[in-house]
Amino acid sequence: MAQEEKNGKPIEQLNDVTVMFAGDSGDGMQLTGTQFSDTTAFLGNDLSTLPDYPSEIRAPLGTLYGVSGFQLHFGATNVHTPGDNPDVLVAMNPAALKVNVKNLKPRGIIICNSDAFDAKNLKLAKYESNPLEDDSLSGYKLFPVPITSLTVAALKDCGLKPKEVTRSKNFFALGLMYWLFNEPLEPTLEWVKTKFKNKESVICGNEKALKSGYYYGENTQLFASRYKIAKAKLPKGTYKSISGNEATAIGLIAASKLSKLPLFLGSYPITPATDILHHLSKYKNFGVKTLQAEDEIAGITSAIGASFGGSLAITTTSGPGLALKTEATGLALMLELPLVIVNVQRGGPSTGLPTKTEQSDLLQAMYGRSGESPVAVVAATSPSDCFYMAIEASRLALKYMVPVILLTDGYIANGAEPWRIPHVNEFKEFEVTQRTDSEGFQPYDRDENLARPWAIPGTPGLEHRLGGLEKANITGAVSHDPENHHLMTEIRAQKIENMQNSIPDLEVDGDSEGKVLVIGWGGTKGSITEAVNDARKKGMKVSRAQLQYINPFPKNLGDVLSKFDNVIVPENNMGQLAKILRDKFLVPVIQFNKMRGLPLKTFEITEKIAEVLGGKND
């Protein structure tokens, strides 16, 4: 760790740091975190974030369950997760401290708003005595700062109401953090100016709060040193920070452009998927039609109607909503119409932990329909991957005339990462044909992929009827013929299998054979990657792969698995991919499962790898 002097303070160079901002839900912690991320990203660090907020809208002030947090991991290398444990905790009140201190690294930094540690708040946080004063935090570097009073003092001339003044204290904390990590104020100041254009007093308040926080760091002798994180070595390009839900939304718009089809979204709000609806409803000038339906069933069935009409049709939801869509998913698969179902997984079952993350809808996506009803299932592995997988889901749905379920999860949906923005010309346009020629038209005719023709209303001469009753192959007439039913069941399954021909092989990171392969799917990519990198640093030999395509699996998956003595499958569920792998490949995979509503902890996976490697006596 290089040392450098600046303004009289030594500057410590770090590889990566994890910071947690925590406070009341009204304290603006999400905004603070986002600003800090943006500035950090702007400086060239790689990063990963984890917003974590209560399911109450504005939980009463000071309560433990009302704490809202934003965790951010940034660094020069190895940033794939928001970090197992923070190095720095900014706690705006006792409850925020109480809830988060147990995760803090030993000797970690705590910056807290000492003004908030009054009797009332201590009681609400269920502290018997003031932790700033007793010895309970002696294992950490504690920095109590009277943030509220300093903010009040700084803002006295801005002409804000008292409530608005105290609401600015998050910017004081942000300024202090900028100082501590040696980051510039300008990006945030810019943002404030644009955001609050014409609201002079608010601009004044935010600017002053931010700057006083910064100068407070500079002027006091509180901190022994400042920190600096080197730029990450990232591929050249233009970057922006993107969350998974935003990426999904613009991925769908991209798919609409690439397919030259209008985009239709039928959706019903549900955490954590609602933001996709929010984003898409902004893009009316892209011809996007968003229908906030009366319920999830109307969400998907309206999309089926739109698909019949020739749109790229989408429905978005989360677990309980997917459960409601199962009957209609079966209809879409029987109609053989293209449809993309985005499911942003959250903690289940039932209402479960609606604001927490989980990967537990995989089996529902695979098997949660009546009858033999295979649909394609793909999963995004990171916030920005949502963009690419939204495109992939759309491409497959259109090419094979099937419903495709895209699984993301609360963590990657709300979390953000820097994204090298691709140019439109990096993508191939989709070859979508809507049938217009009535010569020899048969509604359940088959192309080389077994897809049937898409003939949309308004096309003269192609009038035909679809429906959920079993259809005779080729003609599409209702058929009760036993052999036809068997045949159609096979065709529907084969169509999904055929997709193997147009999806990429699974790539293995590391040796393509060996003792241990760690294989995951979807949003655990960050945790697994970091864990495997850590294990390698510790000298372990281990390979890694992450599945984006689950139904069908990549063609080479069986091969890949067969080359390893041990296959570890870490999942944020009780072993759903493990089940499918055992079923398909009869491999005795080693499960690693946690159901805590949080991303998997890197160190636990590393431990598991060590255990498996060590457990084998050779």
Partner 1 sequence: MTNKIDTTELKPKDFQSDQDVRWCPGCGDYSVLSSVQKVFPKLGIKKEDFVWIAGIGCSSRFPYYMDTYGMHGIHGRAPAIATGLKVARPDLSVWVSTGDGDLMSIGGNHFIHACRKNIDLKLILFNNQIYGLTKGQYSPTSEKGKVTKSSPYGSVDYPFNPTSLALGAEATFVARTLDRDVKHLQEMLLRAGEHKGTAFLEVYQNCVIFNDGAYTDYTDKETKAETIIKLEQGEPLLFGKNFDKGIKIDGFNPVVVDLNDGVHSIEDLLVHDEHDESPVRSFIYSHMTDHPELPTPIGVFRQIKRETYDEAVTRQIEAVTDKKGEGDLESLLFSGNTWEVE
Ligand X SMILES: Cc1ncc(C[n+]2csc(CCOP(=O)(O)OP(=O)(O)O)c2C)c(N)n1
φ/ψ of 46, rounded to 5, equals -85, 155
Binding mask 40-79 for partner 1 (x = CB under 8 A): -xx-x----------xxxxxxx-x-xx-------------
* CA 545 to mean position of chain CA atoms: 19
Q: What is the Cβ-side half-sphere exposure of residue 503, based on CA atoms within 13 angstroms?
A: 32
Residue 58 CB, shortest distance to ligand SF4, in Å, is 6
Q: State the binding partner of 305 from partner 1, its own copies, ligand X, none, CB within 5 to 8 A by kind.
A: partner 1
φ/ψ of 379, rounded to 5, equals -140, 145
Residue 302 CB, shortest distance to partner 1, in Å, is 3
The answer to the question of residue 287 lying near its own copies (CB under 8 A) is: no
φ/ψ of 141, rounded to 5, equals -90, 105
- Taking CB under 8 A as the criterion, the residue among 10, 184, 467, 504 binding its own copies is 467
| Contact call for residues 43 and 231 (beta carbons, < 8 A) | yes
- Taking CB under 8 A as the criterion, the residue among 477, 487, 540, 574 binding partner 1 is 477
- Taking CB under 8 A as the criterion, the residue among 160, 306, 390, 396 binding partner 1 is 306
Dihedral class, residue 401 (left if φ above 0, else alpha if ψ from -120 to 50, else beta): left
| Distance from C-alpha of 92 to C-alpha of 144, rounded to nearest angstrom | 10
Q: State the binding partner of 610 from ligand SF4, its own copies, partner 1, none, CB within 5 to 8 A by kind.
A: none
Question: Which helix H or strand E contains 16, and what residues bound it?
Answer: strand 16-24
- Taking CB under 8 A as the criterion, the residue among 290, 384, 479, 551 binding partner 1 is 290
Residue 268 CB, shortest distance to ligand X, in Å, is 6
* Tokens encoding 130: 């003031």
Which range in 114-122, 133-141, 267-275, 411-419 contacts ligand X by CB under 6 A?
267-275
CA distances from 232 to 76, 239, 244, 526 (A): 4, 13, 21, 16
Q: State the binding partner of 270 from ligand X, its own copies, ligand SF4, none, CB within 5 to 8 A by kind.
A: ligand X
DSSP, collapsed to helix, strand or coil, labels residue 456 as coil
Closest CB to partner 1 among 488 and 547? 488
- Hey, which bits of 527-577 come out as E strands? 543-547, 549-551, 564-571
What is the Cα Rg of the chain in Å?
A: 26
DSSP, collapsed to helix, strand or coil, labels residue 317 as strand
Which range in 60-68, 218-226, 264-272, 279-287 contacts ligand X by CB under 6 A?
264-272
Residue 420 CB, shortest distance to partner 1, in Å, is 7
| Distance from C-alpha of 34 to C-alpha of 189, rounded to nearest angstrom | 14
| Distance from C-alpha of 383 to C-alpha of 243, rounded to nearest angstrom | 5
Binding mask 277-306 for ligand X (x = CB under 6 A): -------------------x----------
| Distance from C-alpha of 344 to C-alpha of 321, rounded to nearest angstrom | 10
- Taking CB under 6 A as the criterion, the residue among 26, 269, 309, 514 binding ligand X is 269
Closest to 336 (Cα-Cα) out of 386, 404, 287, 270 = 404
Which range in 90-98, 353-361, 503-511, 523-531 contacts its own copies by CB under 8 A?
353-361
DSSP for 366-403? HH-SSSS---EEEE--STTHHHHHHHHHHHHHHHHTSE
- Taking CB under 8 A as the criterion, the residue among 161, 163, 465, 480 binding its own copies is 480
The answer to the question of residue 262 lying near ligand X (CB under 6 A) is: no
Closest CB to its own copies among 224 and 586? 586
Binding mask 44-83 for ligand SF4 (x = CB under 6 A): -------------xx-------------------------
Which range in 229-237, 448-456, 514-522, 573-581 contacts its own copies by CB under 8 A?
573-581
Dihedral class, residue 28 (left if φ above 0, else alpha if ψ from -120 to 50, else beta): left
Q: State the binding partner of 349 from ligand SF4, partner 1, its own copies, none, CB within 5 to 8 A by kind.
A: its own copies
Other beta carbons within 10 angstroms of residue 483's beta carbon come to: 8
The answer to the question of residue 424 lying near ligand SF4 (CB under 6 A) is: no
DSSP label at residue 137: T
The answer to the question of residue 304 lying near partner 1 (CB under 8 A) is: yes
Closest CB to ligand X among 270 and 298? 270
CA distances from 118 to 94, 238, 484 (A): 9, 47, 75
Residue 296 CB, shortest distance to ligand SF4, in Å, is 21
Binding site for its own copies (CB under 8 A): 54-55, 65, 318-320, 322-324, 326-327, 330-331, 333-335, 347-354, 356, 358, 360-361, 363-364, 366-373, 467-470, 480, 482-483, 485-486, 489, 492-493, 573-574, 579-580, 582-583, 586, 588, 594-598
Binding site for ligand SF4 (CB under 6 A): 57-58
